[in-house]
Every structure is written in structure tokens, then in C-alpha cells.
Amino acid sequence: MSKKVIVIGGGPGGYVAAIRAAQLGAEVQIVEAENLGGVCLNVGCIPTKAMIHVAEGYESALHSSALGLKIGSVEVEWPKVLSYKGKIVDRLVKGVEGLLKANKVTIHRGRAELKDSRTVVVNGKTLSADAIILATGSDPAKINFPGADLPGVIDSTGALSLPERPKSMAILGGGVIGIEFASMYSAFGAKVTVIEMLPDIMAGIDSEIVAAVRGDIVRKGVNVLTNAKLTGAKQNGALLDVSYEVGGEVKSVTVEKLLVAVGRRPRTQNIGLEAVGVNTERGRILVDANFQTNVPGVYAIGDCSSPIMLAHVASAQGVAAVEHALGHKAAYFGNIIPACIYTTPEVASVGMTEDKLKTAGIAYKKGVFQLAGNGKSLIEADGVGMVKILAGQKHGEILGVHIYGPRATDLITEAALAMRLEATVDELISTIHAHPTVGEAMAEAALAVDGIAIHWPPTGKR
């Protein structure tokens, strides 16, 4: 008799876990209270990237004369932008439902609540299983400040469905979400101000990359304020006066919208964790190396349990969790997780940053290749950006790769695979890279580790 698995949550962690469990022969049921695909597909990764794609097209059209194209008047038809985003989301949501049905996964619509380690109640109906996978995701984090409940104060979900294109926006938070929206709305023509409490934006990203990104978005018109604290927002007619403290002085900026983008919090309330005795810490479900909670047979994956809130992390954890639950050997490499930021051009990284290597006392060497020396990057993004490789001092093993440039989010997969296979810079160098591609810059950065990049002047390392 096949084992029974219940997955609570139909996001990128949940639906992938359900499909993998079905592939392994389990009888699978999945419960989703809202739309299949979760936050990422409905109000996160996918709609954001769809709108960024439109913003990049608009920005390119505005500067088309430099390419020899005469387009004429370029206008944004905002309702059509939202319609385009909606069509992409709708198609993918239907695709997820189709995949679940094709794998004979039973779909339940409604809110699920744990009754014990083997029982879930949905809409008054009791479901039983040998293993339960919690994949309930996360919600935008909220903070209290004077004016937080004003109509013009929005979160990332609201920022994806504004009825009109804003002419101005303040963004509280200079992390991944905040900087992506800053880049996007700036490209759409809005005057954007980013307010970040920390000394710099994009915490966790290599400082050399951050400096380059910050310089570029500032040149494009984004006002970036760091070491700045929001003090409140007041209504000013149809606008908002957003006040903040920086350098001991209180200042303000008048905008149409204030986007609060200060991260996300696990969605773990009212799902029966307390009744079953599942351990949590600050709302996050605690799990072991196999993603099993302290209650045998109950697993948790993705944003509800992981400090790294990324869709691909949730998917990988979902696969590992059901493989363990069904008696298979699971493989999860949590030390090799690529991160992507969809600015223009893009940012991507995997492995350790230079600051972390220094703090850990790890001997390393680095190679930086400026994309001004890469033909395809020159064509696509005027040569903006770099590829940076950090390698072990003695053996040349790849410790971290950090990219700022066109197609960075695609190129980072090569770096992640290289790290997974414990490749060295010599092996990257000896791998023939196609020309002309942005990917050639990976080999050039590997050469730069020893100061022998071909398409950049000597650096004096030899």
C-alpha cells in the first residue's frame, strides 16, 4: 500500500513537494487557501519580473535613437501593463494546476489546520496521512509608525496592482524587494526615494557589487538614503509627506505612495502548530537537517521555516523533505544557494562574499573582470557591471561568485554548478565558453584570479 502525504500550501515549495511525492508513488493531497503557485507566482517573483520586463522595454525605447531606431512617441499604457502581468500569472497558475492533476494529486481549496501529527482538517473534512508537509509561506512584514494605515501606504503586493502609474514613490527598505521596485518604478519614470536604516543597501550582497549598483541607480535618478530612519507619514491632499531622520536631522519627501518593503514574516498562525506541539521560534517553524519538525512525520519547508526566503530554496527543500519522508536518501546543499536581484542590469551571487571570507579568516584570492571588456555585455548593457570570483588561496576552489550585469541571473547557475562539483578556477578556465556571450566573462574572471585575463589590461598580479 502506498504512503499518504498531505502538503499544506501550494506555493513553489508545496506544489513541487506534492509532485515529487507523487513521482515516488505516494498518494498525495495538497491544500491551498488562495491561488496555486503561492506568493512567488501570484504576488511575488513572477508578476514583479513581468513588470520589470515591461519597464526595461520602455526604458530601452526611450533611448532607441542611440541604436539607430526612430520610434517616435513612447507611452506607457498602464492598464495594458497590468493586463500583461495578469496573463502571465494566470497562464502559470493554470500550468501548476495542470501539473498537479497530471500527477494525480488531489487538490483541496481552503484553510488547513493540524489536529495531530497525522491528521488535517480542511473545510470541516478530516484528511489523514503518513506524512504532512507544511509549506504555508510568508506575508509582507509590517511595522508600526505614525501614518502606517494611510491609504497611500502599500506593501509589495499592493505595489503590483496600483490602478495608476505613480509619478513618485518612497520605499522603506533597501533590501532585494525594495531595490527591485526602486529600479522598476524609476524606469517607468517615477521619482523614487529609498530609505534604509542600515549603512548600505542590499544587505548580504558583496560590497563591491553593492557599490556598483548603488552608483548606477543613483545616476539613473533614484535617491538612496542610508543610515536613515522613517519617522512617519502624513496626508498632504492626495499625496503623502514622508518624514525620516538622517544624520540627526529630520527631513521629508512628498510622494504619491510609500512602499513598505522591510522583508517578510513566516505565515504560521492558526494552523494548529500549538495543538500538535510543533516547536517554533519567533513565528518560524524549527526543523532538522531533513526538514522534519520535532513532531515525527511533520515537515516544514520554505518561508514558514527557512531563514532564506527564496522560491528555489522552498522547492529544493520540498523535494528533500518528501524524499526523506518516503524513505529515500535526500540531497540538499544549503551552502550553495544562488541569489538573484532583478535590477537593470541584474545582480546574482552564490557562495561567500569577500567580507565574510575576511571575517572567517579564510585565505582567498579574487578575480574581477569588468564587463566593459565583454562584447555581448557592451551590446546589451553598454558594458556596465562585472564578474567577481573568489577562490581558495591554496587550491583555487571556488568559494563565491558575484555578478552585476546583463543575464547575471542566468549565468549564476554555472557558478552554482561549479561550486556543487567543487570545481577550481583552472577548471573554469579550461572549459571553452561560447563567443560572443556574457558567459565568456566567467572564464575571464577565473583568469583574472591569477592576473591573466585576456580581454583586460594586466593588473600586476603576475
Question: Computed from CA positions of residues 20, 21, 25, 30, in that sequence, does the dihedral angle turn out positive or negative?
Answer: negative
* pLDDT, tens digit (0-9, with 9 covering 90-100), for 339-378: 999 999 999 999 999 999 999 999 999 999 999 999 999 9
C-alpha cell at 72: 517616435
Residue 66 main-chain phi, psi, to 5 deg:
-65, -20
Q: What is the pLDDT of residue 202?
A: 97
The answer, yes or no, to whether the previous bond of 436 is cis (omega within 30 of 0) is: yes
Cβ contact 145:234 at 8 Å: no
Tally of CB atoms within 10 A around 459:
13
| Gap between the Cα atoms of 266 and 410, Å rounded | 28
DSSP state of 395: T
Q: What is the DSSP string of 267-296?
A: --TTSSHHHHT--EETTEEP--TTSB-SST
Residues 6+ apart with CB under 8 A from 282: none
Stretch 417-444: mean pLDDT, rounded?
Answer: 98
What is the rounded end-to-end Cα distance, in angstroms, of the chain? 65
Q: Which of 53, 328, 435, 455 is catalytic?
A: 435
Residues sharing a CB contact under 8 Å with residue 333, sequence separation 6 or more, in sequence order: 420
Confidence of residue 406 (pLDDT cuts 50, 70, 90): very high
Share of the chain above pLDDT 70, in %: 99
Provide the pLDDT for residue 461: 62
Residue 335 pLDDT > 80: yes
Asked if 433 is an active-site residue, the reply is no
Closest CA relative to residue 40, chosen from 284, 309, 298: 309
Q: Please name each of the domains of the chain with its CATH number.
A: 4-139+265-325 (3.50.50.60), 153-262 (3.50.50.60), 345-448 (3.30.390.30)
Collect all residues with Cβ–Cβ distance below 8 Å to 79 and sequence separation of at least 6: none
- As separate numbers, helices (DSSP H) first and strands (DSSP E) second, the chain gives 14, 25
pTM, two decimal places:
0.96
What's the rounded Cα separation, in Å, for the pair 346 and 323?
Answer: 34
Confidence band of 460 (pLDDT split at 50, 70, 90): low
How large is the angle between the packed helices 14-23 and 311-325, nearest 10 degrees?
A: 30
How far apart are alpha carbons 133 and 116 in whole angstroms?
Answer: 13
pLDDT band at 462 (very low <50, low <70, confident <90, very high): low
* Beta strands 223-225; 191-195: pairing state: parallel
- DSSP-derived letter for residue 424 is B
For 348-364, b/e burial (b = at least 16 CB within 10 A) is bbbbbbbeebeeeeeeb
The pLDDT of residue 291 is 98
Cell of 148: 502606517
Supply angle C-alpha 70, 72, 75, rounded to 5. 130
Whether pLDDT at 192 is above 80: yes
Q: What's the order of all strands across the beta sheet hosting 239-246?
A: 228-236, 239-246, 249-255
pLDDT in tens, 167-184: 999 999 999 999 999 999
Measured CA to CA, the distance from residue 113 to residue 278 in angstroms comes to 13
Q: Looking at residue 459, what is its pLDDT?
A: 77
- pLDDT at position 2, please? 85
Q: How far apart are CA 350 and CA 332, in angstroms?
A: 15
Cβ-based burial of 219 (10 A; exposed 0-12, middle 13-18, buried ≥19): exposed
In the chain, the amino acid numbered 230 is L
pLDDT tens-digit series, residues 197-255: 999 999 999 999 999 999 999 999 999 999 999 999 999 999 999 999 999 999 999 99
The dihedral of CA 105, 157, 206, 455: what is its sign?
positive
CA atoms within 13 A on the CB side of 293: 25
Counting Cβ atoms within 10 Å, is residue 38 exposed (0-12), middle (13-18) or buried (19+)?
buried
Longest dimension (CA), the chain: 72
Which of 443, 438, 449 is CA-nearest to residue 399?
Answer: 449
| pLDDT at residue 58 tops 70 | yes
**Angstrom distance (rounded) from CA 345 to CA 406:** 5
Can you tell me the distance from the alpha carbon of 202 to that of 212, in angstroms, rounded to the nearest whole number? 12
Cα(10)–Cα(16) distance, integer angstroms: 8
Q: pLDDT per residue over 119-151, tens digit each? A: 999 999 999 999 999 999 999 999 999 999 999
Round to whole Å and give the CA distance between 221 and 260.
20
